[in-house]
């Protein structure tokens, strides 16, 4: 049933990448428990605007958990504490009246803060540019059914392909590593026959690029898997490791 | 050689180095523990084990050198990883909470590692680099463990080792890519069991000798 | 002025082939001398950018999100149609063409739709080659399902995330070209003007959303792939940043806007539940394959669904349309839901919802089968509503979803402004007055992968190359206009927030220009919008600084355009004195309450030309000629 709650927010405010940040405290009152977390922030921002203050900058777009643009760290948890949920799908019914909520941006050397809670995740695009594709030009593809893909393989590839590129894996990793993100794409394409011709080059180049961008090293902490809003498994990281060693030692 | 350094120098390569050297330490621990268990057979059995070991001569030296080089690789790579990982998040979170992925073992790896490093130096000074001309290894061990301080240090060190191994064991399999939903639960169970065996197996020895003396 | 769609001659099945032959080609060695600007990175923009770069053009691609992978195509759930006929159930290019024209209530251009059906098969081939993990059957072949009112199984899908997978395919092709240096990517840029030199589109002016800088970019052609305008209703299934600004700025520079009143209402969305709500979430239409739609037979029945016995339930779609049942097209399903709610039979706290019940399907196939098909959708529903659809029926209500109208384009996808191409949802061409399910993805990719790459060559090869730099005075003027508008928005310093205005506009549009319209309401709404617009420019408050990351300013610019565009929709809706597809004027309905077309007077695309602020837009007509399909009254009985 719908009810309303009052909350205290401690929000990270930072004017720009080079500025020092700080926590500011706001009160969010009469928040309907049917609201999403971002709708709650909308309400706070409306009030800030009316009060002549600057609203909190935060990234968001589709608000249905698929575009990957939203995401902040809520009480120490990227996208909040609900499992398999993006911030836009996190509803206020999971909070209690009187709660204090700390809201921080995703933090990593590779993710610069643009403003407040909005960060620059273009590093993830750069990892994809290093090989997260099958090199086929438009046109000239063979008939779609000429490639047989066993259902289990297609399912595994789809499990990995679900990644929304939100960066929660990096944000949650104690080492700020992008291994889950990288491994999801490498896995998807390594599993499918279409991706095999370039598998070795892809694994090496994507890992190298990931390292160069200043992400940390994976140390099998499994936080990424636990936080991933699409619940992507670290078996993909194991597959990336295999692909990488295969490529490094035998190709 | 370039392909080797570039393969092993990457984040995954370093992980592989940690995994392989670390896992060989698990093997070393198992062998060391098996040897140490002869102490329950009494003074002669234990001294006999030491003699047999030393009778291996150059083979033992080779093994020691391999162990030493693995040790150096493990420590240096670990240190590099620690520093790089620290740098990868220059501004820390104000609120830290786990989603349930980390374990006590995984979260403390660098710290248990550092403690183990200190302990190993201490341990070698106690039992390895000592004058053994007029005494036996059994005497050295029993005199050391007649002191409660030593006993406590050793027991604590073994707890630390067990914690370190609890993450290291399964982690090796994940790193080399051997993660399959069918087998991973078993590997994780074996890892924990091994950590417990190491902790209790080694940890009980000082107590036994202390009580014996 | 009669519009020339430049439809090639000859039989419909040969038009595209013939046209491709007749189009002039750009010599491979010359392609690198041409620069093309692509705005938007959804299915149309992503695929167009990648393909143009593969061909050798220099491409500059812009998007408003932080990464091209986030365009709202990503949210499409159900699938993509193609006439592969893999299931051997009687599909063909002709049938897909026919279904699309009929589904669009005969307000689409035949030749475009036929071409769309023709290239649909190439799309699937291309996407599979890219490594898109489509659903497979046990033998490893591609699986198909029937979708959104089609009587054949022609829909390819990747769980409930087909749009995501197709978009990531196009995105990966785009990233490959970025790595190759053929595409220069500009994320977090909002296009605020298109620049014309001697009547040709030669560049754009954008705002860098990180630091507020206004930037100029010149090229030999401009391709807009900026999506639809559903957010004029504030509440829609669109992403928060989806907007009409790019298309509307082009309209103001002389591009014609066609059929803006054709908006699609999606029947299966999670109902509205509060004024704070920022968007509506769609539940894939595939749910109607197994879910049964019903309401209580008696108005005002407040019992819980479990307490209502079979005899007191009205499965109104099954009763009214025995052969299509729950699978009638979107517009029909939506209007019927509204009709039931208007009769007081709506359910839920607001009375603005109907049930979509899976009890029978679960009973018939077992929970596991249903979970495999719809598990992620059920989970999503539960996440949002805290109700478990395995236990209790879902509640659904129609919501604004897609907009069939858009900038007018000819057969080459070029607007009436030479050099300005418009692709995907941003153009008007293929869906007529109503789009069938799983056709939007098909159209976006068809335009980007297989149509534009040919037709843009025809334009570039057939036009004298004029190298324009960003120093040209047309850029000066354009930038002046853009910064002037931004300054004006920043200086108002009023009392109401941007969202407040947007919500008010949305309510007006939904009430009077939504699922059902009438002349009186439309007339009234027009006045209300004019008043609201006037108030906006006196009383909006845009906090912060223009030379900064300023999301309020971004939204203010978009809402300002919506406030003008909404009026254009109403003008169009008033001009179209008939009902067809998504445009339902209550004066024009059959005895069975279906849309009643007037083919004698309105079998045309209405293209509107901007004739100055505060002046009536000028009407242009493109008559639609149906040579291959007989115009009939749609019936899904």
Look at residue B83 and tell me if it is in a domain.
Answer: yes
Say if the Cβ atoms of C185 and A125 lie within 8 Å.
Answer: yes
Number of domains comprising chain B: 1
Look at residue B131 and tell me if it is in a domain.
Answer: yes
Q: Alpha-carbon distance C413 to C451, whole Å?
A: 8
Q: Which domains does chain A have, with CATH numbers?
A: 4-115 (3.10.20.30), 121-136+145-250 (1.10.1060.10)
Find the helix packing angle between C110-129 and C15-22, rounded to 10°: 80
Say if the Cβ atoms of C126 and A68 lie within 8 Å.
Answer: no
A241 close to B179: Cβ distance less than 8 angstroms? no
pLDDT at B212: 86
What is each CA distance from B120 to B160, B161, B206, C623, in whole angstroms?
A: 12, 11, 16, 89
Q: Select from A39, A132, A149 the Cβ nearest to the Cβ of C140.
A: A149
Q: What average pLDDT is seen over chain B?
A: 95
**Ranges of chain C with pLDDT below 50:** none
What share of chain A has pLDDT > 70, as a percent? 100
pLDDT at C1: 59
Contacts of B176 in chain A (CB under 8 A): 241-242, 245
Say if the Cβ atoms of C179 and A124 lie within 8 Å.
Answer: no
Q: In chain A, which among 83-112 make CB contacts under 8 A with chain C? A: 84-85, 89, 91, 93
pLDDT at B109: 97
Say if the Cβ atoms of A248 and B3 lie within 8 Å.
Answer: yes
Q: Alpha-carbon distance C68 to C431, whole Å?
A: 25
Say if the Cβ atoms of A76 and B12 lie within 8 Å.
Answer: no
The chains found to touch A (3+ Cβ pairs under 8 angstroms) are B, C
Report the candidate in A232, A70, A62, A233 with the shortest Cα–Cα distance to residue A163.
A232
Query: Alpha helix (H) ranges present in C409-451?
Result: 440-445
Q: Do chains B and A touch (3 or more CB pairs under 8 A)?
A: yes
Q: What average pLDDT is seen over chain A?
A: 97
C625 interface with A at CB cutoff 8 Å = no
How many angstroms away from the CA of A148 is the closest CA of chain B?
24
Q: Select from B11, B85, B179 the Cβ nearest to the Cβ of A238.
A: B179
Look at residue B76 and tell me if it is in a domain.
Answer: yes
Burial code (b: 16+ CB inside 10 Å, e: under 16) for B158-190 equals: bbbbbbbbbbbbbbbbbbbbebeeeebeebbee
CATH of region C268-399 = 3.90.700.10
Which residues of B make CB contacts under 8 Å with A?
3, 6-8, 10-16, 81, 84-85, 87-102, 106-107, 109, 167, 170-171, 174-181, 184
State pLDDT tens for residues B123-171.
999 998 888 888 899 999 999 999 999 999 999 999 999 999 999 999 9
Gyration radius of chain B's alpha carbons: 19
For residue C296, count other CB atoms closer than 10 A to its CB: 22
The most distant pair of C-alpha atoms in chain C lies apart, rounded to whole Å, by: 74
Domain span(s) for CATH 3.90.700.10 in chain C: 268-399
Q: Alpha-carbon distance C439 to C447, whole Å?
A: 12
CATH of region C12-262+404-462 = 3.50.50.60
Say if the Cβ atoms of C51 and A138 lie within 8 Å.
Answer: yes
Q: Do chains B and C touch (3 or more CB pairs under 8 A)?
A: no
Structure tokens at C205: 């002016």
**Ranges of chain A with pLDDT below 70:** 1
How many angstroms away from the CA of C543 is the closest CA of chain A?
6
Query: Alpha helix (H) ranges present in A22-82?
Result: 37-50
Look at residue B6 and tell me if it is in a domain.
Answer: no
Domain span(s) for CATH 3.50.50.60 in chain C: 12-262+404-462
Look at residue B1 and tell me if it is in a domain.
Answer: no
pTM of the model: 0.96
Q: Alpha-carbon distance A228 to A166, whole Å?
A: 9
Say if the Cβ atoms of A57 and C549 lie within 8 Å.
Answer: yes
| Phi, psi torsion values for C116, nearest 5 degrees | -60, -45
How many angstroms away from the CA of B9 is the closest CA of chain A?
10
Contacts for B103 with CB less than 8 Å, ≥ 6 apart: B166, B167
Q: What average pLDDT is seen over chain C?
A: 95
Which residue of A lies nearest to C128 if distances are taken between CA atoms? A144
The catalytic site residues of C sit at: 330
How many angstroms away from the CA of B179 is the closest CA of chain A?
6
Which residue of A lies nearest to B95 if distances are taken between CA atoms? A76
Residue C426 DSSP symbol? G
State pLDDT tens for residues A171-218.
999 999 999 999 999 999 999 999 999 999 999 999 999 999 999 999
Which residue of A lies nearest to B84 if distances are taken between CA atoms? A216
Residue A110 parent element (H or E) = none
Q: In chain A, which among 157-216 make CB contacts under 8 A with chain C? A: 157-158, 161-162, 164-165, 188-189, 192, 194-195
Mean pLDDT over residues B97-111, rounded? 96
C208 interface with A at CB cutoff 8 Å = no
Q: Alpha-carbon distance C314 to C278, whole Å?
A: 32
Look at residue B2 and tell me if it is in a domain.
Answer: no
The count of CB pairs under 8 A between chains A and B is 143
How many angstroms away from the CA of A71 is the closest CA of chain B?
15
Structure tokens at C222: 């401009």
pLDDT at B1: 58
């Amino acid at each position: 049933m719908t009810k309303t709650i009052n909350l205290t927010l401690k929000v990270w405010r930072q004017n720009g990448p080079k500025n020092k940040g700080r926590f500011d405290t706001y009160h969010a009152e009469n928040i309907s428990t049917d609201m999403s977390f971002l709708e709650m922030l909308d309400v706070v921002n409306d009030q800030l605007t009316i009060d002549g203050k600057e609203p909190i900058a935060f990234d968001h777009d589709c608000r249905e958990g698929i575009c990957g643009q939203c995401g902040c760290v809520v009480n120490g948890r990227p996208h909040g504490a609900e499992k398999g949920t993006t911030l836009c799908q996190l509803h206020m019914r999971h909070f209690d009246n009187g709660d204090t909520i700390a809201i921080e941006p995703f933090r990593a050397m590779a993710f610069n803060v643009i403003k407040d809670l909005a960060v620059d995740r273009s590093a993830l695009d750069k990892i994809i540019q290093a090989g997260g594709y099958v090199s086929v030009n438009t046109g000239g593809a063979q008939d779609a059914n000429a490639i047989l893909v066993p259902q289990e393989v297609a399912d595994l590839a789809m499990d990995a392909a679900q990644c929304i590129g939100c960066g929660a894996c990096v944000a949650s990793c104690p080492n700020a590593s992008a291994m889950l993100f990288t491994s999801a794409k490498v896995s998807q394409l390594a599993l499918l026959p279409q991706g095999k011709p370039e598998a070795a080059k892809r694994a090496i180049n994507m890992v190298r690029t990931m390292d160069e961008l200043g992400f940390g090293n994976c140390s099998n902490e499994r936080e990424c898997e636990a936080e991933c809003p699409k619940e992507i498994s670290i078996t993909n990281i194991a597959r990336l490791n295999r692909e990488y060693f295969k490529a490094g030692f035998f190709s | 050689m370039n392909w080797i350094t570039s393969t092993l120098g990457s984040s995954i390569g370093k992980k592989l180095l940690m995994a392989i050297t670390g896992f060989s330490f698990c093997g070393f621990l198992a062998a060391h523990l098996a040897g140490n268990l002869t102490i329950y057979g009494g003074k002669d059995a234990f001294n006999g084990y030491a003699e047999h070991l030393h009778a291996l001569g150059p083979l033992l030296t080779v093994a020691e050198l391999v162990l030493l080089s693995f040790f150096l690789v493990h420590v240096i790579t670990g240190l590099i990883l620690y520093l790089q990982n620290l740098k990868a998040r220059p501004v820390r979170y104000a609120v830290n909470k786990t989603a349930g992925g980390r374990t006590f073992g995984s979260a403390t790896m660098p710290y248990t590692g550092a403690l183990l490093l200190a302990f190993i130096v201490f341990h070698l000074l106690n039992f390895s680099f000592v004058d053994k001309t007029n005494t036996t290894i059994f005497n050295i061990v029993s005199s050391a463990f007649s002191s409660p301080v030593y006993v406590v240090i050793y027991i604590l060190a073994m707890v630390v080792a067990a914690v370190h191994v609890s993450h290291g064991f399964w982690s090796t399999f994940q790193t080399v890519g051997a993660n399959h939903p069918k087998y991973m639960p078993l590997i994780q169970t074996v890892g924990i069991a091994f950590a417990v065996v190491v902790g209790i197996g080694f940890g009980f020895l000082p107590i036994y000798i202390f009580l014996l003396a | 002025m009669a519009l020339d769609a430049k439809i090639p001659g000859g039989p419909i099945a040969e038009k595209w082939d013939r046209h491709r032959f007749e189009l002039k080609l750009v010599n491979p060695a010359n392609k690198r001398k041409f620069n093309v600007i692509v705005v938007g990175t959804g299915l149309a923009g992503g695929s167009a950018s990648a393909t143009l770069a593969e061909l050798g053009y220099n491409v500059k691609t812009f998007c408003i999100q932080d990464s091209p992978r986030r365009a709202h195509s990503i949210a499409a759930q159900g699938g993509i149609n193609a006439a592969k006929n893999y299931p051997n159930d009687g599909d063909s290019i002709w049938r897909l063409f026919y279904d699309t024209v009929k589904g669009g209530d005969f307000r689409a251009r035949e030749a475009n739709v036929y071409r769309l059906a023709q290239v649909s098969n190439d799309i699937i081939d291309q996407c599979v080659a890219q490594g898109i993990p489509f659903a497979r059957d046990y033998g490893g072949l591609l699986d198909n399902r029937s979708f959104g009112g089609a009587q054949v199984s022609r829909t390819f899908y990747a769980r409930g995330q087909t749009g995501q997978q197709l978009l990531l395919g196009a995105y990966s092709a785009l990233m490959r070209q970025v790595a190759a240096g053929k595409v220069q990517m500009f994320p977090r840029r909002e296009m605020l003007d298109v620049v014309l030199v001697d009547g040709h589109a030669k560049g754009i002016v954008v705002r860098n959303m990180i630091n507020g800088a206004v930037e100029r970019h010149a090229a030999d052609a401009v391709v807009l792939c900026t999506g639809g305008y559903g957010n004029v209703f504030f509440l829609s299934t669109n992403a928060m940043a989806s907007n009409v600004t790019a298309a509307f700025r082009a309209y103001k520079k002389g591009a014609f806007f066609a059929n803006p009143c054709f908006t699609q209402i999606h029947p299966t969305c999670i109902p509205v539940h509060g004024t704070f709500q920022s968007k509506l979430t769609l539940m894939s239409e595939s749910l109607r394959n197994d879910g049964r739609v019903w309401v209580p037979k008696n108005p005002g029945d407040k019992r819980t669904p479990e307490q209502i016995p079979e005899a007191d339930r009205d499965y109104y779609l099954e009763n009214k349309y025995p052969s299509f049942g729950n699978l009638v097209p979107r517009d029909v399903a939506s209007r019927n839901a509204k009709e039931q709610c208007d009769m007081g039979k709506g359910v839920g706290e607001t009375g603005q919802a109907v049930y979509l019940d899976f009890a029978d399907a679960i009973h018939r196939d077992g929970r596991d089968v249903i979970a495999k098909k719809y598990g992620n959708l059920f989970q999503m529903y539960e996440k949002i509503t805290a109700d478990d659809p395995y236990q209790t029926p879902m509640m659904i209500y129609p919501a604004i979803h897609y907009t069939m109208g858009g900038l007018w384009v000819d057969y080459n996808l070029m607007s009436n402004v030479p050099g300005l191409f418009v692709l995907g949802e941003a153009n008007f061409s293929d869906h007529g007055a109503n789009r069938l399910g799983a056709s939007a993805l098909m159209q976006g990719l068809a335009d980007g992968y297989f149509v534009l790459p040919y037709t843009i060559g025809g334009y570039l090869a057939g036009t004298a190359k004029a190298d324009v730099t960003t120093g040209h005075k047309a850029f000066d003027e354009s930038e002046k206009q853009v910064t002037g508008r931004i300054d004006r928005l920043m200086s108002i310093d009023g009392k109401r927030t941007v969202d407040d205005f947007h919500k008010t506009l949305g309510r007006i549009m939904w009430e009077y220009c939504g699922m059902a319209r009438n002349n009186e309401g439309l007339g009234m709404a027009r006045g209300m919008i004019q008043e609201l617009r006037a108030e906006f420019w006196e009383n909006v408050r845009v906090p912060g600084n223009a030379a900064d990351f300023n999301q309020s300013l971004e939204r203010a610019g978009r809402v300002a355009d919506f406030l003008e565009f909404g009026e254009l929709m109403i003008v169009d809706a008033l001009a179209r004195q008939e009902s067809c597809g998504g445009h339902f004027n209550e004066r024009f309905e059959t005895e069975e309450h279906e849309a009643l077309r007037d083919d004698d007077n309105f079998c045309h695309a209405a293209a509107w030309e901007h004739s100055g602020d505060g002046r009536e837009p000028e009407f242009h007509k493109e008559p639609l000629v149906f040579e291959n399909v007989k115009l009939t009254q749609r019936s899904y009985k």
